Amino acid sequence: MSKILDMVKRHASLLPVQKRGVDTFPLSLPAGETFNSCRLTLLETRPGAGVRILSQPGANAEGQPQVLVQWHHPGAGRLRYQLEAFSSSGGAASSPVSPTAVMTGFDPLKHGFRFNNAFPPHPHIQLPTPFGRIRIGDAKNGLCGGMVFAALDYFYAGQPVPDTKKPPSGDMLFDYIVKRLYDSFNLPFGIGGYIELMQPDLPDYAAGFNALSSRAWRTARQEWPVVKTLLDAGQPCPLGLVRVKSSDLRKLGENHQVLAYGYDVKNDQLNLFIYSR
């Protein structure tokens, strides 16, 4: 597969008037190759702004087709995005690059830590909650939320993550990741979402009016719209993944935290691109 287009476009205005338009990107396909896919990545934006692929060539298109990108931003706003297009030979090559994917600028290979979530033993971590202090485990069992929040801090600061490939221990970086783990729980009340969704008597799915009390409804109707709004605005979004059903609050540490940095929806099926440690 070959990259045949890599363009960055920026739109900005100081006037308090909504702006919108369509950008046209001509493609020039190499001889013997056909259109494969294109990828749109938001690099900079503000709330209320957005960009999407309006039209693109059909599969295996040849010659000099074009891609149309529709954009908009509110008054006194701006946005910046990158459009990449790819060709393939033989007309049947497949690619993980999806033409319908919405991506932020976060790249796990560039912005993620180089070391695994495998820390040496550390005194038990305790979280203050409305139900009292809860001991959730030892650092050796993982600091996923701290790694997600810390990586996002480096990303927004425009600074490279430390190049170390060994999990830190007893230094400033370790202390910082532990601190950001506490922050990730949004204490004292932010932890309530985990406690609610962990309850064994909460149904995974339900029909009719009872659907409002199910995990599926909560995920699809309450949580996903918030996540989508952030990703559409080019902002990576930390996610809490509830992986245990239990009334024992000591099992809070068995859940997981990841960072969503893009998504793709096809035929009502949602795929999230996540950074996980």
Token readout for 247 is 């009334």
CB of 196 within 8 A of CB of 222? no
Please determine, for residue 90, whether its predicted confidence score (pLDDT) is greater than 60: no
Identify the CA nearest to 5 among candidates 111, 96, 86: 86
Q: What is the pLDDT of residue 126?
A: 62
For the full predicted model, state whether its pTM sits above 0.75: no
Tell me what the mean pLDDT of segment 2-16 comes to: 86
Tens-place pLDDT, residues 243-268: 888 888 777 777 888 999 989 887 77
Token readout for 270 is 């949602």
**pLDDT band at 23; cut points 50, 70, 90:** very high
Average pLDDT score, the chain: 81
- When mean pLDDT is compared across 37-51, 69-83, 162-176, 194-208, the lowest value belongs to 37-51
Using only C-alpha atoms, what is the Rg of the chain? Answer: 22
List Cα–Cα distances, 20 to 11, 69, 86, 163, 178, in angstroms. Answer: 9, 11, 26, 41, 43
Q: What is the pLDDT of residue 17?
A: 82
Cα 224 to Cα 212: distance, rounded to the nearest angstrom:
15
Kindly state the percentage of the chain with pLDDT values over 70: 84
DSSP 3-state assignment of 229?
Answer: helix
Tell me what the mean pLDDT of segment 149-177 comes to: 90
Class of domain 2-99: mainly beta
Q: What is the pLDDT of residue 135?
A: 61
Query: What residues does each domain of the chain span?
Result: 2-99, 108-275
**pLDDT band at 50; cut points 50, 70, 90:** confident
Q: What is the pLDDT of residue 95?
A: 44
Please determine, for residue 94, whether its predicted confidence score (pLDDT) is greater than 60: no
Q: What is the pLDDT of residue 153?
A: 94
